[in-house]
A and B are shown apart, each in its own frame.
Chain A
């Protein structure tokens, strides 16, 4: 009853807007007759036959992107209003009660204009649950392919899980319970964080995010999937980020675990976690773009980049990763496959790297930026906080192929069966195809973030079980077509610069 009245009010409002051309600069249609349909809220504008609908503004009520319609992001689209400053616990409760859910049906292709980005604020949910047969896709509207880079923003999810400040400045809630951390990604990204590790921001499953990473300011790009303070009640599985101008997936604090990631063609790092993230990641294929000479943005493209350096260190950061395959390219061959730093704790298991400058780089932190005092590492000035890195069954062939350039800076603190392996061969399924692939079963130590997450205790190295056919791989069928083609022949020494 109440709802009906609202819809009526909205439809009257929408009808009156027709006369003045609507409120959106990106209101669109193919046949030039933009007609908001009765009952449509004001954050959405559709063409007459409702085949194309454009979202922009704040989605302030539960809403579903139905399949069969071409959905467009006309600008910065914000789900809920949890991004505003929440002064106290009562405001947090109110924000949760006011939370809305944006549901995206399987098979929906969301096309974004260049100002488009989707931000899900804390207290609200994104239910984007595709299927292997009908994945959900985000890409730019500029063209039908997925070859662009930085053509629109990206997907940003914010939650009430804790964030810890750079520089060991502690939990965002300080001595209280409320957080208001300004998120990265431009002016329109509001505040996130809280003291609820189990917070649930919804489901992101069988989702492909391509061509994003638009510049939001000098040296400021948007990640493909940005997870800011997202809690472990959220599901992130079977997600591909392709050709993003910044990182593939970046965690800023939070506790959300992830499985089955395909990260291809991204211009910066692929997996990046920081600011007190506590979580687990299993099964990921990372592939750098073989067609690029150098990164296009202000980027230093690595496979895994964990935590920030030195004075920006966050010792609360704790990540466990298993079964990752990392394949480098010419544009990334000055960078390590994984860089673990900033006095973090990291456990990496059953992972293979190929074709980066180094496979593993571990850095400790000079937290006070004072080179004169407090060095705990011989020969390195000023280091005063150490990272704690455990590696087991982490192998690779990095550097000038054939030379042992496995480690950069230092070796791990604990673990076994790690190091240079020049026999590494990746097959077309993304599996390790040589004899190093099979290892004895061991117990992976999960990060205890309260989720009860348990790794599959695999007996192989790499993201895909050796011997799996391309068609049977867990990524088969739902990822962007061609995005893993020829991974088995990728030559990171090949300079794609065209001859003059």
Chain B
């Protein structure tokens, strides 16, 4: 009953896809030895086409008489004559190739139809898929597959898009021709796993990512997914911007995800199934903007834990997969040009870097000069300028030479910010090589983007002023996947190189109100992040019941921050002790291997048993080196410290011995760390009538060690083994209504730097970040309840409630410090935290006309997360409990879309709201909040032809200020500017 309704809905929504014939048409149906012919090409009137897998070729031609030439494997096999009487006529040409010779028979077509028959096979089980709906777009015709997965559908003559839909499978679309007297037999494979239908699939007119919906519907756990289609629909250029569209997900600072009010600490990330390597030593989560859209195949967000996932999947997991093999040839170029209404062409703070900065690569200009490295043990040891003991002393001559090997380049100047530009190229194909398909896909991208904070003001804790901050991001990406797939297996090798370079210039003019002292600060920071990975991934189907997935992921992340320069003028004079050049590098090598084995069998007609087990091992080795070089100036030198910094730090003053560089590297600045996780799990699933039960457990053993090669500080390590059980129950009350319940236990481990003795400095504020070696692992109990209602295959509504009880949550808090050591931040296990929330999500189509359709999608999350502080934190923060850091109480998204499929236009309006959240807790006073903010984006797309796609995006339309506050008084605010961009993509084939 419900299917009937589904079919009619589908028919209406799809009706705009049906393209009317504009010219006379001839359809060739070519068979060889009784079945569809392979590799036959047909040439008519200067056009040449190859038969499709069903044996059809269609030409649209002006009315005339023609001779078609047929060849196979390059050899002539025959010809066929036909006549098209007028523009409305159509001819069918049946060609039978017998013994290498084509015998053609031509007939005028009539309205009588053909029969499309076929069988649906599950990709996962290899078995038939029953109960699936097969319908033809543009008609109200549809059937349900029977117990063997078979269907038979009579269709009038024509070309159709067949849609295959099943609650547990990904939606599939295929192109068929129906001709009288020509039986079409199809074997259609459908898969449960998502992300297959991405971009390169012809998805004209698919305005809701159906793959995502089906995937969501299938999962036993609470799952949201975004395919690349959706990302491009919304103009999302990276994972970070795409994630904002998912219920209960917020993205902080454009880079880090907050899922269900839980920030990075409670969210795990995987890339192609393996644990994600980290790229920022100060964070334990992954900057999402590292992955551009033409490399990402898809993102799944699962908001509840299941045993095959990492044990730290508490708020959720962000599973990113890079692109798989394409479904056919791809050869596409993309480009874009964008402006920021405030930034572009305005004067922004900048400085002279290296010759190759435009590539995002420093040419060595920023390296610690060799002459300095030589006299300072690579910057680790202080330099003693003296002569009394050659073993210890560096002579003044050598020292001067070494100091002058620095470029003394500190000055900030103004330059005009350039428009944002990017260029990308993608190429790939999939070829049938007999037993299976072999294919590849490669992508290259370059992007250069300038952003700035405008009218930035600060007024907090007695410091008032303004600042300018310019950021130039240069991204370069290379990606290559090659693979093989056949009935039994999939083998892929994926190679990824991502580079993201960030050049930040910050100039602040502040006044310390309390000290009545002007305080001008400059930060010049160049950070190169690089991610290089080689992933080998395989799937193997032994038979209909048994399957194995495996992966070997090798990765290396690097973060190189050479010559970060900072200095301050206090009361108009350069403060020597604030001058610092910092050189830091992080290299992390990772190896992640794992497998998942699945066994599924029908115990009876109504009972499906699913068993799953697997294991993984991950090993990361991190090496961090940090060198700090400060400046000493002789106060009696007569230098005028109120002059420009290059009048103070220059070759002459160094030669005169007035100015010296000096290493200020602390012994614990550099460290090496290992982080290993091994896990195995098993789960048991039972589908019984409308009940789905899943139970399982995971055993996870982890060990972290930190050592300080330059210090006699002890090695610090943390190891534990945790058993993490879960249980879930799904009840399908009706075909289109289901209820879910899940309970699980998860953990949260401290990050490496959170336990490090090495005092790090916050890149933005220069605040000391003091690790806490005593941190322990937090344990979390999760409960999820969710109900879902599907209006149609592409329309749904869900309501969820969840609670999370966290024991010993780790929060960024106030150190027990004295003097300047009290000003930093540290991490502490608090007593407990309780998180509960409601999520509402809806997708609904609301206007359907012959010109197009419109939809509204939205989600709303209301979250309450309170942390009960430990005695120490309570004493320092002056409160016993507060909201969990980084967590908004309200998160909302609304998308309004209009699709004018007829002419290839689409318009999407996106509104994203994040309520206020604690930015930073403070000693004894109110925490600093990031104020609630609404961002509105508008995306317009036009596809004038199948090859060309144009889009225009207006971002941050309202350009409301980013604001921070304390006690409801603004502490900091700035504007990011409205952006406008135009992009095109052109497919060569």
Contacts and interface: CB of A to CB of B under 8 A. Distances in A.
Interface of A: 25-30, 32, 57, 85, 113-115, 141-142, 147, 149-150, 163, 165-170, 172, 174-175, 179-189, 192-193, 215-221, 228, 245, 250, 252-253, 274-275, 291-300, 309-312, 334, 367-372, 497-498
B578 to A, nearest CB: 5
B656 interface: no
A386 to B, nearest CB: 17
Contacts of A371: 969
A32 B460 CA distance: 56
A363 B620 CA distance: 53
B405 interface: no
A294 B568 contact: no
B462 A252 contact: no
B515 interface: yes
Given A114-B662, A296-B635, A309-B514, A215 B816 contact: no
Contact of B925 (A167, A175, A184, A216): A167
B925 A32 contact: no
B662 A367 contact: no
Contacts of A498: 638
B384 A141 contact: yes
Contacts of B606: none
Contact of B571 (A32, A174, A253, A294): A294
Nearest to A52: B389
A356 B875 CA distance: 38
A312 B515 CA distance: 14
Contact of A165 (B757, B761, B816, B820): B816
B759 interface: yes
Contact of B578 (A150, A219, A250): A219
A186 B388 contact: no
A220 B575 CA distance: 12
Contacts of A149: 635
Contact of B573 (A183, A193, A294, A309): A294
Interface in B646-676: 662, 664, 666-669
Interface string B804-843: 0000000000011111111000000000000000000000
A147 to B, nearest CB: 7
Given A218-B761, A252-B818, A30 B384 contact: no
B640 interface: yes
B147 interface: no
Given A215-B630, A310-B462, A311-B923, A187 B666 contact: yes
A368 B926 contact: yes
Given A150-B577, A310-B514, A113 B821 contact: no
Interface range on chain B (Cβ under 8 Å from partner): 35 or more
A484 B531 CA distance: 61
Contact of A167 (B515, B517, B924, B967): B924
Given A142-B384, A187-B757, A296-B635, A221 B577 contact: yes
B643 to A, nearest CB: 11
Interface stretch (B115-123, B202-210, B238-246, B766-774): B766-774
Interface stretch (B294-302, B349-357, B375-383, B418-426): B375-383
Contacts of B712: 57
A309 B514 CA distance: 8
Instruction: Pick from B517, B666, B766 the residue with the most CB of A within 10 Å.
Output: B666
B587 interface: no
B382 A141 contact: no
B664 A215 contact: yes
Contacts of B871: 174-175
Contact of A150 (B391, B632, B922): B632
Interface in B894-934: 922-926
A183 B384 contact: no
Given A166-B923, A192-B818, A174 B635 contact: no
A149 B633 CA distance: 9
Contacts of B517: 300, 334
B578 A174 contact: no
Instruction: Pick from B460, B632, B640, B815 the residue with the most CB of A within 10 Å.
Output: B632
B555 to A, nearest CB: 31
Contact residues of B: prevailing secondary structure: loop
A28 B878 contact: no
A218 B766 contact: yes
B925 A141 contact: no
B666 A188 contact: yes
Given A30-B389, A186-B666, A309-B462, 10 more contacts: A25-B381, A165-B876, A180-B816, A187-B669, A187-B759, A215-B577, A291-B636, A298-B577, A368-B967, A369-B967
Instruction: Pick from A170, A187, A295 the residue with the most CB of B within 10 Å.
Output: A187
A80 to B, nearest CB: 15
Contacts of B816: 165, 172, 179-182
Interface of B: 377, 381-386, 388-392, 460-462, 514-517, 566, 568, 570-571, 573, 575-578, 580, 630, 632-633, 635-636, 638, 640-642, 662, 664, 666-669, 712, 757-759, 761, 766, 768, 770, 774, 815-822, 871-872, 875-876, 878, 922-926, 966-967, 969
6 contacts: A174-B875, A175-B871, A188-B667, A215-B577, A218-B766, A297-B575
Contacts of A298: 568, 570, 575, 577-578
A217 B768 contact: yes
B543 to A, nearest CB: 59
A274 B666 CA distance: 27
Instruction: Pick from B460, B578, B580, B664 the residue with the most CB of A within 10 Å.
Output: B664
A4 B381 CA distance: 36
Contacts of A312: 822, 923
B220 to A, nearest CB: 45
A167 B462 contact: no
Given A228-B818, A370-B967, A167 B577 contact: no
A293 B634 CA distance: 12
A169 B382 contact: no
Nearest to A180: B816
Given A167-B924, A368-B925, A275 B818 contact: yes
Contacts of B573: 293-295
B758 A187 contact: yes
Given A25-B377, A182-B770, A169 B666 contact: no
A299 B577 CA distance: 10
Given A147-B636, A297-B576, A309-B462, A217 B664 contact: yes
B377 A169 contact: no
A311 B924 contact: yes
A170 B924 CA distance: 10
B667 to A, nearest CB: 7
Given A32-B391, A167-B876, A219-B578, A184 B818 contact: yes
Contacts of B516: 334
Given A217-B761, A218-B566, A498-B638, A296 B820 contact: no
Contacts of A184: 817-822
Instruction: Pick from B571, B642, B818 the residue with the most CB of A within 10 Å.
Output: B818
B921 to A, nearest CB: 12
Contact of B818 (A182, A221, A294): A182
Nearest to B826: A182
B818 A181 contact: yes
Which 6 A/B pairs are nearest by Cβ-Cβ distance?
Answer: A167-B924, A184-B819, A182-B817, A187-B666, A298-B575, A297-B577
Contacts of A300: 515, 517, 571
A216 B662 CA distance: 12
A371 B965 CA distance: 13
A163 B577 contact: no
B548 to A, nearest CB: 49
Contact of A217 (B377, B460, B759): B759
B949 to A, nearest CB: 49
Contact of B385 (A142, A163, A294): A142
Contacts of B384: 113-114, 141-142
B975 to A, nearest CB: 24
Contacts of A292: 635
